[in-house]
Amino acid sequence: MTFYSKKVMNHFLNPRNVGYIKNADGIGEVGNPICGDMMTFYIKVSNNRIIDVKFQTFGCGAAIAVSSMVSEMVLGKTLEEVQCLTNDDVAQALDGLPSNKIHCSNLGADALHKAIENYKSKHQNDNILKK
């Protein structure tokens, strides 16, 4: 039997920032074929800060809780701050995850990092034109 912290249960039962962003600045999607979890993060960026974030997750309670926590942790942060987010940061923010669910925290951080990579690749030409 797997036991979850109160924070994990709260984010699973009341997930924050669920949905998608139409015309998102960046989209990141990851999946784990072994457990079946799929996460997609959508971000809106202004002045190098994440001003909106939404997610869609298909998976277990831990995956949903991780997605919800990640979305709260990054809102208002700079892209550089968010790129430093680790799976350990996410697990700690949730007061821990069972060892068999720690891979979910990897997925959350990875999906968000992919959304930032997607944003940067879309805006790479903008930076070249400014120079």
Active site residues: 35, 104
**Is residue 67 a contact partner of residue 57, using CB atoms and an 8 Å limit?**
yes
- What is the token pair recorded at 47? 């002045």
Distance CA 25, CA 49 (A): 11
**3 state DSSP class of 13:** helix
Query: Which burial class, exposed, middle or buried, applies to 69 when counting CB atoms under 10 A from its CB (0-12, 13-18, 19+)?
Result: buried
- What is the token pair recorded at 43? 């971000």
Distance CA 38, CA 64 (A): 10
